[in-house]
């Protein structure tokens, strides 16, 4: 029994080492459902709670909450009930400090991957304590949300719905961008100023990115039109590159059945002309008529007595 237990511990340690040695993979579904839920629960904190937000987030995820984020346009009201953590996130919060002490040089994505593998390997009885607390907190959260909405005036309720629609629209836009990136959509063409900025950004004046961009913008405005002509030609070449790559990419999307990703002004290129479709229908009808006439002729030839009668 001792030998079996030691072998299990060795295998588990080997599994962690293999995970840490592998390249960090972005776990899209895990981060969007798990970490996103915790971030959404922390966005409605006001300035008096900023210190607590910083301590919790820095210990768990390694980032700090700023008042700008807390008062963002799409954030929920500060008195709105906070969504509780799921069972997996509770387990993650509990295990992350332990793994961080064991692997101090590991990245957050590596630790997240280890925790996800451990959670997947847990038995249902081991997950039950975390999920039971999560279910109880979720029930309490729904009751608090119901009471909160009942106390709102019609104007406040409509404002809350509008903010929720904005958050959902923003989330949908982010997901679509991630999907297009995963499908390998070509990058948009750069403008002449963007090309100029990428070439001179390192040598620009200023300590921050904003000051550098401002100085580059002023320098771009002072350039003569003949000096800008070079960047205009480069931008035109980049636009041609983009159009060629987009045509190839859209053909690939048609092959895999993702015609919804085709640009609206390019969808006519992948549709059959009406004349072609009408001719194909005519040819099909003619084939049907010729096929039926052949059958009738064959039946008449096989029964000559019917013709004599």
Residue keyed to tokens 């700090």: 64
Residue 144 and residue 19 share a domain? yes
pLDDT mean over 249-265: 88
Q: Write down which residue in 151, 176, 210 finishes a domain.
A: 151
Residue 175 lies in a domain: no
Residue 186 or 304, more confident: 186
Residue 308 or 159, more confident: 159
Q: Write down which residue in 237, 255, 270 finishes a domain.
A: 270
Q: Write down which residue in 270, 285, 301 finishes a domain.
A: 270
SS3 state at 267: helix
DSSP code of 272? P
Cβ proximity of 186 and 245 under 8 Å: yes
Residue 51 lies in a domain: yes
Instruction: Please report, for the domain that includes residue 236, its CATH number.
Output: 1.10.30.10
Give the pLDDT band (50/70/90) at residue 288.
low
Residue 210 lies in a domain: yes
Residue 201 lies in a domain: yes
For the residues of 222-240, what is the DSSP string, one character each? HS-HHHHHHHHHHHHHHHH
Residue 156 lies in a domain: no
Total domains present in the chain: 2
- Count of all residues that appear for the chain in the document: 309
Residue 197 lies in a domain: yes
Give the pLDDT band (50/70/90) at residue 149.
confident
Residue 16 lies in a domain: yes
pLDDT tens, 43-97?
A: 444 433 433 343 333 333 443 443 333 334 444 566 788 999 999 999 999 999 9
**Residue 205: domain span:** 192-270
* pLDDT for the residue numbered 71: 37
Give the pLDDT band (50/70/90) at residue 279.
low
* pLDDT for the residue numbered 116: 92
Residue 206 and residue 121 share a domain? no
Residue 168 lies in a domain: no
pLDDT tens, 167-195?
A: 999 999 999 999 998 899 999 999 999 99
Q: Which two tokens stand for residue 6?
A: 């030691």
Q: Which two tokens stand for residue 50?
A: 């900023």
Cβ proximity of 95 and 115 under 8 Å: yes
* pLDDT for the residue numbered 76: 55
Residue 127 and residue 20 share a domain? yes
For the residues of 89-151, what is the DSSP string, one character each? HHHHHHHHHHHHHHSTT--HHHHHHHHHHHHHHS-HHHHHHHHHHHHHHHHHHHHHHHHHHHT
Distance CA 186, CA 173 (A): 17
| This prediction's pTM | 0.46
């Amino acid at each position: 029994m001792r030998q079996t237990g030691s072998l299990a511990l060795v295998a588990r340690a080997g599994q962690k080492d293999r995970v840490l040695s592998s390249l960090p993979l972005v776990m899209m579904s895990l981060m969007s459902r798990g970490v996103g839920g915790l971030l959404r629960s922390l966005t409605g904190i006001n300035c008096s709670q900023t210190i607590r937000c910083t301590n919790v987030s820095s210990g768990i995820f390694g980032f700090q909450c700023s008042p700008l984020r807390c008062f963002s346009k799409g954030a929920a009201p500060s008195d709105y009930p906070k969504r509780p953590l799921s069972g997996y996130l509770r387990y993650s919060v509990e295990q992350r400090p332990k793994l961080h002490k064991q692997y101090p040089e590991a990245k957050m994505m590596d630790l997240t991957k280890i925790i996800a593998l451990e959670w997947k390997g847990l038995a249902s009885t081991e997950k039950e304590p975390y999920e039971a607390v999560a279910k109880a907190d979720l029930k309490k959260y729904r009751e608090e949300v119901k009471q909160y909405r009942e106390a709102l005036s019609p104007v406040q309720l409509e404002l809350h719905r509008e903010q929720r629609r904005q958050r959902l629209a923003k989330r949908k836009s982010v997901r679509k961008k991630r999907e297009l990136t995963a499908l390998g959509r070509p990058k948009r063409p750069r403008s002449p100023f963007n090309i100029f900025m990428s070439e001179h950004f390192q040598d620009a004046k200023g300590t921050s990115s904003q000051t550098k961009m401002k100085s580059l913008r002023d320098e771009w405005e002072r350039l003569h039109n003949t000096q800008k002509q070079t960047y205009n030609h480069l931008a035109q070449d980049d636009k041609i590159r983009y159009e060629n790559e987009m045509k190839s990419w859209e053909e690939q999307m048609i092959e895999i059945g993702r015609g919804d990703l085709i640009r609206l002004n390019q969808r006519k290129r992948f549709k059959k002309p009406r004349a072609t479709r009408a001719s194909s229908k005519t040819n099909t009808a003619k084939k049907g008529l010729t096929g039926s006439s052949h059958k009738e002729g064959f039946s008449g030839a096989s029964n000559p007595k019917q013709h004599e009668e």
